[in-house]
Structures are given as structure tokens and as C-alpha cells.
Amino acid sequence: METEILLHKPLKEIVNENPLFSDFFSSFQIKAENEHKSFTEYISTQPDSFWDENASSKEEIANLFVDYISGIAASEQKTTIETLDILRGIDKSKNPENCNLHLNPGEITCIVGPTGSGKSRLLADIEWLANGDTPTKRKVLINGQPADEDTSALFGGKLIAQITQNMNFVLDMDVESFLMLHAQSRLLMNAEDAVKEVMKLANELSGEPFDPTTPVTFLSGGQSRALMIADVACIGQAPIVLIDEIENAGVNKKKALDLLVSKDKIVLMATHDPLLILLADKRVVIKNGGMDKIITTNTHEKGYYAELEKMDKAMQEAKDFFRYGNELKES
């Protein structure tokens, strides 16, 4: 997207070719749809009253327009993550870890180990794009190269999304407004369609449906996490998703993971839930703060998953039975 060309192209042509620019022009009461002047010509011919009404100046609006062009260009970049590698560091006893961790888009990897073993530390190292500068001395590589803030900038600062059990909203707005705000900030051309898709998926994931007019602060824990999972999948552009123990989050876990994988995300999840572990393609075992070994989920384990799923379904039915006020009686 050539900035110089856009500065001298008729405004009418700009919005016809890319409707996203309409938001910028309308914020300054510029009726670009019928304007044959270029941006440079337009701002050069405006009276003082125009600048007073917009509390701006010719130089300020020009700089804002250039920044807006850069933002749209960044959102249209086709940069992709093909591999994510976590190179071995040290465990809590300062001994070298036993393995590296290699991750690909469209696959699920679980982090397993006892409470306090260091599962969340591994997630934190990835979130911080560790480069030997964390207690574990691990290094994170993206597409085979050391990751840093410049790497994140290639993805418009939207490299990693994190979902945890402890998620609460503080914004005073309804669900639809929240989603629309997020979609517009991501410069999505089909923002309304994306919001509708997120609502549909969130209600499929949540145990208790909610509608677009529900204030976000009224959502339950499960509803909040269902909303954020659907949002990360459909609106959020982060290619890496880190999940910290959502087994008790009140969402349809299998459907949530299927959704993220279908969007070609790299999914890394710390969990104790055997169902989630067996749904994954592989798992990294953490011992004493270090990566001990990688286990690929085998065919026998997939068969065992089917048995556990039946047990889990029976347990869920029992929970629902009592949750909705039923009681057992002698036959």
C-alpha cells in the first residue's frame, strides 16, 4: 500500500477500493464518497473553521492519515508463523532440560506435570518471547529465528493470545459493542459478520446462552471464557494461543479446541484434565521446572479417550440433574 499514491488519489476512489478508509474520513466529517479531490488537495483548501471544528491542524491530520495507512497495511500483511520452537534451558536445580519443544499451526500441545512443577512458567516464557533472559534460560524461536518485539510488530503486535480461568470484564458496555469495538480496532472489513459469528460460536461453547445486549460485566465465568475463545478464533489475529487450565471453565472443551485448530492456531495448553490431554496431538512433561520429555498421543490412548468421554458425559449429566433442582427418589 503506497502512502504517496494514496495521498494524491481522489478520496472517492480510496473509499471505493477500501471501505475501511470511510471510518477515518467520517471521523473528521469528510464526505469522501463524493469527493474528487485528493487528500492533500482537500486539506489544503479547508477554511480555519474546519480545523477549529476538528480541534486539529493540517499537519496533525496528515500524520494521522499516514499512520492509518500504515495500520491497514500491517493488518493486510500475509506474514505467517510456520514453526514455534522453545529451546531447552535449565530446571529448578540448574540442570539442563532434557528436550526442546517444536510446535506447528493446527495442532494442540498440552503441558502436563504436578501442581507447582513449572507449567505456567513455560507459558510465561513463550508469552515474554524468552531469549535466555528468564529464570529458565529458555529461548523462543519463530520460524527458526529468535523472537523479539520486532517479531511481534510483524504481526501488528498481535502475536500471542492468552486464555485463563480467571477472566473478568470491567468495561461498561454490552457484548455486541465490545465485539464491534474489537473488530473495528483490528480493521476487519466484515466487522458485523465477524461479531455475529463470535456470538453464535460463544453460545455453542457456553453452558448458558446469552444475547448481544447482555452487559459484559453480567457474564458468568464460563460465558466470559466462551466469549473470549470465540473472539480469539474469529476476531483476534494472534496465531499463538496459550491456555492455562480451563478444565473447570464451564465451556465445551472439545468444541473450543476444535474451533481454535480449525483457524490454524498454534495451541499450547497447561492442564490436569485427562480428556484434554488425550485430545492433544502431543504433550510435554514438566518435572522440577524443566521439560523432561515429549509424548505423542498414540492410537491406544485415543481409544482410551472414548471410554473417558463416556464417563465424563455421565458425570456432566449428573451435575446438570442436581444443578436444575432435581432429586433422587426411591423407586
Q: What pLDDT digit, counting tens, does each position of 116-172 carry?
A: 999 999 999 999 999 999 999 999 999 998 877 767 666 656 788 888 776 667 778
Residue 211 has pLDDT above 60, yes or no: yes
Q: Identify whether residues 269 and 218 lie together within a single domain.
A: yes
Q: Write down the pLDDT at residue 222.
A: 81
Does residue 26 fall inside a structural domain? yes
With CA atoms as reference, report the closest residue to 187 among 216, 148, 158. 158
Q: Identify whether residues 268 and 153 lie together within a single domain.
A: yes
pLDDT digits (tens, 9 = 90+) for 265-309: 999 999 998 988 998 999 999 999 999 999 999 999 988 988 988
Q: Report the percent of the chain where pLDDT is more than 70.
A: 91
Q: Identify whether residues 25 and 103 lie together within a single domain.
A: no
Instruction: Give the residue ranges of DSSP H helices in 134-268.
Output: 149-154, 175-185, 191-205, 221-234, 253-262
With CA atoms as reference, report the closest residue to 276 among 303, 252, 299, 253. 253
What residue numbers bound the domain in which 138 lies?
84-323
Q: Identify whether residues 157 and 238 lie together within a single domain.
A: yes
Q: Identify whether residues 165 and 277 lie together within a single domain.
A: yes
Q: Identify whether residues 311 and 272 lie together within a single domain.
A: yes
Does residue 62 fall inside a structural domain? yes
Q: Identify whether residues 32 and 143 lie together within a single domain.
A: no
At position 135, the amino acid (one-letter code) is P
Query: Domain containing 180 — which CATH number?
Result: 3.40.50.300
Does residue 60 fall inside a structural domain? yes
Burial of 51 (0-12, 13-18, 19+ CB in 10 A): middle
Q: Identify whether residues 146 and 71 lie together within a single domain.
A: no
Does residue 188 fall inside a structural domain? yes
Q: Identify whether residues 260 and 222 lie together within a single domain.
A: yes
Q: Among residues 16, 46, 75, which one ends one of the domains?
A: 75
Q: Identify whether residues 103 and 67 lie together within a single domain.
A: no
- Cell, residue 128: 515474554
pTM for this entry: 0.71
Residue 38 has pLDDT above 80, yes or no: yes
Total domains, the chain: 2
pLDDT digits (tens, 9 = 90+) for 163-194: 877 666 777 889 999 999 888 877 776 788 89
Q: Among residues 45, 75, 105, which one ends one of the domains?
A: 75
Q: Write down the pLDDT at residue 111.
A: 96
Does residue 12 fall inside a structural domain? yes
Does residue 329 fall inside a structural domain? no
Q: Among residues 75, 100, 131, which one ends one of the domains?
A: 75
- Mean pLDDT of the region 87-103: 97
Q: Write down the pLDDT at residue 89.
A: 97
Residue 199 has pLDDT above 90, yes or no: yes
